[in-house]
Amino acid sequence: MTENLKGVLAMLASATGFITNDAIVKLVTEELPTGQIIFLRGVVATAIMGLFVSNMGGWRPPSVLIRPAMLLRLGSAVLATLFVASALRYLPLSTTNAIIQVSPLLVTAGAAVLLGAHVGWQRWMASGLGFVGVMMIIKPGTESFVPEAWLALACLVFAATRDLTTRFVDHSVPSIFVTFATSAVIMLAGLALFPFETWPMPTPRALMLLMAAAVCLFFAYHFGIVAMRTGEIPVVAPFRYSSIVMALVLGYVVWGHVPDALSMAGMGLVVLAGLYLLYRERASMRRSPAAQPAVVR
């Protein structure tokens, strides 16, 4: 089995974990409020992360958490989670997932505007097409527009902020510790919503589902890291868009939702824009004499 194939399989496993987590969260929103869902899932996820941090010797002093880059990353991760959990309560699974898939395009634009990264007109065009796709999905100004779609758009902005700020986190801080800290802070954010929500006693079904969601989330993060460290990024990364197909299938099987033609076209445009962005990245790497194989160590 080649390294690229291993990377592709890992990316498919990661996408499956993320979309399964989202589907479970959407199911549990029928029983529990957003903060309670985030807290209960976070308890299990943080415990799992803590075990792996211990096994890998990844603990760092709490002082690293108050550095500006880490604070911004943690804050944006919390807000992204709150908004996506809220969006899943009101929007179809496929709609929420497709909007979030625009995050890499927004990161590209953000890197150009905030970090001064060189972004050619082709990449700007791909980013613009991705946003057009999002507008086709949510259809603002029409009778089909659901105001709660702004929750998914807010999640998109904060997810991109989280990804952009990650590069400024001190490289001496292990990724597993960053993941643990993020999970712990998100869990506490869920608990902070307790005074503003009515938390019922969760049913055994809800507890089991949230435990499963936490496990799915952990494996999604794990296999995502494996994917990006195993194969060439331009080869492996496109398979993250498999989650859109999974979301469509799950949305139909579980909730009977079938997107309209304009939404389907918008989802297709999002995928095409993302794939074109990756194609441009690969072409750029091939033209550069100094380019090395895109394997993250």
pLDDT, one tens digit per residue, over 184-240 is 999 999 999 999 999 999 999 999 999 999 999 999 988 987 887 777 777 788 898
Q: Rounded distance, CA 239 to CA 59, Å?
A: 32
Task: Confirm whether 293 is domain-assigned.
Answer: no
Question: What is the span of the domain harbouring residue 218?
Answer: 3-286
Query: pTM of the predicted model, to two decimals?
Result: 0.89
Task: Confirm whether 96 is domain-assigned.
Answer: yes
Phi, psi at 147, each rounded to 5°: -55, -30
Task: Confirm whether 294 is domain-assigned.
Answer: no
Task: Confirm whether 82 is domain-assigned.
Answer: yes
pLDDT score of 293 more than 60: no
Task: Confirm whether 35 is domain-assigned.
Answer: yes
Lowest-pLDDT choice from 9-18, 20-29, 30-39, 161-170: 161-170
* pLDDT cut 70: percent of the chain above it: 95
Q: How many structural domains is the chain composed of?
A: 1
Task: Confirm whether 20 is domain-assigned.
Answer: yes
Task: Confirm whether 296 is domain-assigned.
Answer: no
Pick left, alpha or beta for residue 146 (phi over 0 → left; psi -120 to 50 → alpha; otherwise beta).
beta
Cβ–Cβ under 8 Å, residues 40 and 210: yes
Cβ–Cβ under 8 Å, residues 28 and 216: no
Lowest-pLDDT choice from 45-54, 71-80, 120-129, 284-293: 284-293
Task: Confirm whether 204 is domain-assigned.
Answer: yes
Residues in contact with 204: Cβ distance below 8 Å, sequence separation at least 6, in sequence order: none
Question: What 3-state class would DSSP assign to 256?
Answer: coil
Check residue 296 and give its pLDDT: 34
Q: Rounded distance, CA 143 to CA 261, Å?
A: 15
pLDDT score of 254 more than 60: yes
Q: Greater confidence, 225 or 41?
A: 41
- What does the pLDDT look like over 132-148, one tens digit per residue? 999 999 999 888 899 99
